[in-house]
Amino acid sequence: MIRIALPLLMALAAPLAAQSASPTIAEPAKDDLVKVALDTSAGRIVLALDRGRAPLTTANFLAYVDGGKFDGESFYRAMRYGDGGIVQGGIRSDARKLAAPIGHESTATTGLKHLRGTISMASLGPGTAKSDFFILTTDIPGFDATAAEPGFAAFGRVVEGMEIVEKILAAPVSPTKGEGSMKGQMLEPVITISKATRLKP
CA dihedral (28, 12, 18, 144) in degrees, to 10, reads 30
Condensed to tens digits (0 to 9), the pLDDT of residues 71-129 reads 999 999 999 999 999 999 999 999 999 999 999 999 999 999 999 999 999 999 999 99
Secondary structure in 3-state letters for 69-97: CCCCEEEEEEEEECCEEEEEEECCCCHHH
Give the model's pLDDT for residue 111. Answer: 96
Lowest mean pLDDT among 1-5, 100-104, 113-117, 163-167: 1-5
d(CA 107, CA 124): 16
Is residue 135 within 8 Å of 118, Cβ to Cβ?
yes
Give the model's pLDDT for residue 27. Answer: 52
Condensed to tens digits (0 to 9), the pLDDT of residues 24-48 reads 444 545 689 999 999 999 999 999 9
Instruction: State CA 71 to chain mean position distance.
Output: 17
d(CA 201, CA 194): 22
Tell whether the torsion through CA atoms of 1, 155, 50 and 138 is positive or negative. Answer: negative
Average pLDDT over residues 150-173: 98
- What's the CATH superfamily of 31-198? Cyclophilin-like (2.40.100.10)
pTM: 0.86
Is residue 193 within 8 Å of 70, Cβ to Cβ?
yes
Domain ranges of the chain: 31-198
